């Protein structure tokens, strides 16, 4: 398996942006949000199980998951949320493991928004990178990225780890409280470190 860094951070902290910068430098990127969308999209591999569990009302006309309907359903019903997660999580994990294993990049970043909350993926990752920024910036950026109220962002933040606890789980931290150039600089420095670590891990494996 390639050297793998788990990337996490609160909503709007800059995980996706940072990951794409690492990707431009040559890191492999495996994004669990993207996998989740793929398996619940048109012809997605999770759709038969979802339809069996929740019926046709959660399916859009094209056969993909109707996210708005599903969101309302799980918001009102913790049991339904559990059931949805029990369908999605093992499938996302299996796809992620496969994509990490197949990567030809010198190392892989595995982006998992709730990495520290769920404690998952430990067997796949060697390090945890936390993307961190001020909570007020998180709200501004999350709202900039998608049409969402401040109240809704705060509700999501409340369901995620408090900032200090997340930072306590980090091996590496990117402080994304400046401009894009500031973010890019930190990504470039860490990329070099990860290349060195990955090369060290690979030679240990061989020798």
Distance CA 17, CA 154 (A): 21
- H runs (alpha helix) in the chain: 15-25, 32-39, 47-54, 67-76, 78-102, 115-118, 135-145, 150-159, 163-168, 180-206
Applying CB under 6 A, which of residues 6, 14, 28, 120 lies at the interface with ligand ATP? Answer: 14
Judged by beta carbon distances under 5 to 8 A according to partner kind, the member of ligand ATP, Mg ion, none in contact with residue 4 is: none
Cα separations (Å) of 148 from 11, 142, 181, 183? 12, 8, 26, 24
The residue written with tokens 């094209």 in the block is 62
Give yes or no for a contact between 173 and 130, defined as CB atoms under 8 angstroms apart: yes
Applying CB under 6 A, which of residues 32, 99, 103, 176 lies at the interface with ligand ATP? Answer: 176
How many amino acids of this chain bind Mg ion (CB under 5 A)? 2
How near is the Cβ of 185 to ligand ATP at its closest, in Å?
A: 11
| Binders in 8-47 for Mg ion, by CB under 5 A | 15-16
Does the footprint of ligand ATP cover residue 17 (CB under 6 A)?
A: yes
Does the footprint of Mg ion cover residue 160 (CB under 5 A)?
A: no
Judged by beta carbon distances under 5 to 8 A according to partner kind, the member of Mg ion, ligand ATP, none in contact with residue 144 is: ligand ATP
Contact footprint for ligand ATP (CB under 6 A): 9, 11-17, 113, 141-142, 144-145, 176, 178-180, 183
């Amino acid at each position: 398996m390639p050297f793998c860094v788990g990337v996490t951070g609160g909503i709007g902290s800059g995980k996706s942006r940072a990951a794409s910068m690492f990707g431009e430098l040559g890191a492999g990127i495996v994004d669990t949000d993207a996998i989740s969308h793929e398996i619940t999209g048109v012809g997605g591999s999770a759709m038969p199980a979802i339809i069996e569990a929740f019926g046709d009302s959660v399916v859009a006309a094209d056969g993909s998951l109707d996210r708005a309907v599903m969101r309302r359903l799980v918001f009102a019903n913790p049991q339904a949320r559990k059931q949805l997660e029990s369908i999605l999580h093992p499938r996302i994990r299996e796809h992620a493991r496969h994509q990490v294993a197949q990567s030809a990049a010198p190392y892989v970043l595995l982006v998992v928004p709730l990495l520290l909350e769920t404690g998952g993926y430990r067997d796949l990752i060697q390090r945890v990178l936390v993307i961190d920024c001020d909570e007020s910036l998180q709200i501004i950026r999350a709202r900039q990225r998608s049409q969402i109220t401040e109240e809704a962002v705060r509700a999501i933040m409340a369901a995620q780890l408090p900032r200090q606890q997340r930072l306590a789980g980090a091996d590496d931290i990117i402080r994304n409280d400046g401009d894009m150039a500031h973010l890019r600089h930190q990504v470039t420095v860490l990329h070099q470190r990860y290349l060195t670590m990955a090369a060290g891990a690979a030679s240990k494996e061989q020798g």
